[in-house]
Amino acid sequence: MNKHLRTLTLSALFLALGLVLPFFTGQIPQVGSMLLPMHIPVLLCGLICGWQYGAAVGFVVPLLRSVLFGMPPLFPTALSMAFELMTYGLMAGLLYNTLSRWQCIRALYRCLIGAMVAGRIVWGVVQAILLGLTGSALTMQVFLASAFFNAIPGIIVQLILIPAVMVALNRTGLVPFRQSEKSASAAR
């Protein structure tokens, strides 16, 4: 199978997972906002398919889910999540596939944490703008609670599950870790 078709197929799979995974937590919205089920496929898409596909899938998933299923609400939640998840996919792919000299667990954690911080900052900025349009405000306390403190369970799940998936894919050879020439020659 050619690489472009494989990447498109995987991106479609991650998009479908982003639409389906929230059903497992959708009965209790508080659990969904803590476990962040849409984030996992977007981060994996950025890591595996690249920043362009991760950004596209990240932007589309919350908007499509809102239009198809009514959750999350389009304004302001799905709109701000679209920019947040776009940033996750973009940054995860960009940091891991482009800016990292090698791909390994350590680089994976650095990229995940960088993408998560960047995405949450983008979410806060977009949320503040959207709420400002309605005459409301996003306080620092609400930002920190929503973006970080309430999301701790989801962050932990992401930091355990995503590296486990990437290690499994590396072991099967489907998505091998890449080492720099220097590291590869030192390992020989």
Query: What percentage of the chain exceeds 70 in pLDDT?
Result: 91
**Residues 6+ positions from 120 with CB-CB distance below 8 Å:** 84, 147, 148, 151
pLDDT at 182 over 70: no
Give the residue-averaged pLDDT of 121-138. Answer: 95
CA dist., res. 59 & res. 53, Å (int): 10
Tell me what the mean pLDDT of segment 157-167 comes to.
96
C-beta of residue 50 within 8 angstroms of C-beta of residue 99: no
Domain count, the chain: 1
Q: Residue 143 class from Cβ within 10 Å (0-12 exposed, 13-18 middle, 19+ buried)?
A: middle
Q: Decide if 33 is inside a domain.
A: no
Q: Which of 52-66, 113-127, 170-184 has the lowest mean pLDDT?
A: 170-184
Q: Given a cut of 60, is residue 187 above it in pLDDT?
A: no
In a domain, 11, yes or no: no
Q: Is residue 16 part of a domain?
A: no
Residue 9 domain flag: no
- Asked whether residue 76 is assigned to any structural domain, the reply reads yes
Q: Is residue 97 part of a domain?
A: yes
CATH number of the domain residue 87 falls in: 1.10.1760
For residue 21, the number of C-alpha atoms closer than 13 Å in the C-beta half-sphere is: 20
Region 87-104: what's the mean pLDDT?
90
Residue 171, domain extent: 38-187
In a domain, 63, yes or no: yes
